[in-house]
Amino acid sequence: MLIDAGISLRQIKKRLESLGWSSDQVRGVAISHEHSDHINAVPVILNRTDWMILATPNTLDAIEITKGIEVPKSRWIPLVAGRAKDWEGWRLHPFALPHDAIDPVAYRVEAGGAHLAVITDLGYATALTIEYASDLDLLALESNHDVGMLRDGPYPPLLKARILSRVGHLSNDSCAEMLDRVLSPKLRHIVLAHLSEQNNDPALARLASAEAVKKTCGASLHVASQDEAFEVPL
């Protein structure tokens, strides 16, 4: 099960292979929302694989409009925010997020006795987000930007305001604050994800969250890269 497909299908296959996985093992892609960095590979996936697309009806409509495609109903598994979906041995819990998309969700996933969540593209941590991010074995959480770097950086004012808004992206400090509310002894791995290349530094992201992790639990802290894959054993 993949969550989102913003990089090319070639890169998806290459990164799976770097971890010893085959693309033939993939059964589906759960899409969080229709922004291009989450759906770029969808047209090629439909043409060159048999992978299913899991998405809410509104997100599917937005993908079709954005990409100028029609997703065959035989390739679509409908999802509803707040309603669990059992499929191919996974239990997916899509839940709503505050982000400037049509119907954005994040995913809590249960499989093989493990509980994990992938939560990116949110302006702030809602009570619902905290609920779904609790009692996990692995949490991948957005740590998108350093506020100082963003404010001093080259982005135009409107884009800066969008990122900093309640429907934008989670900053390093906001990520750390959310971690402080969901950490537990059960949590084994934390992956800081969706880092901006222009407005963040992996060292700053790690520093912001490390103190919260150190004082609360012994979870391993990882920082995801846009350029390569890495494996987190559960």
Instruction: Kindly report the pTM of this predicted structure.
Output: 0.96
How many percent of the chain have pLDDT more than 90? 95
Amino acid present at 80? V
Q: Give 143-155 pLDDT, tens digit per residue.
A: 999 999 999 999 9
Q: Within 13 Å, how many C-alpha atoms sit on residue 208's CB side?
A: 26
Left (φ > 0), alpha (ψ -120 to 50) or beta: where does 65 sit? alpha
Mean pLDDT of the chain: 96
How many percent of the chain have pLDDT more than 70? 99
CB 234 within 8 A of CB 188: yes
pLDDT at 199 over 80: yes
Domain 1-80 fold: Metallo-beta-lactamase; Chain A (3.60.15)
DSSP type of residue 73: G
Number of H helices, E strands in the chain: 9, 11
pLDDT at 215 over 80: no
Residue 216's pLDDT band (cuts 50, 70, 90): low
DSSP type of residue 171: B
Mean pLDDT, range 5-23, rounded to an integer: 97
pLDDT at 164: 98
Q: Give 83-132 pLDDT, tens digit per residue.
A: 999 999 999 999 999 999 999 999 999 999 999 999 999 999 999 999 99
Give me the residue spans of the domains in the chain: 1-80, 113-227
pLDDT at 179: 96
CB 223 within 8 A of CB 194: no
Mean pLDDT, range 15-40, rounded to an integer: 97
pLDDT at 150: 98
Mean pLDDT, range 138-145, rounded to an integer: 98
Residue 182's pLDDT band (cuts 50, 70, 90): very high
Mean pLDDT, range 154-166, rounded to an integer: 98
CA 126, 131, 135, 138 torsion: positive or negative?
negative
CB 194 within 8 A of CB 175: no
Residue with tokens 């302006």: 123
pLDDT at 214: 82
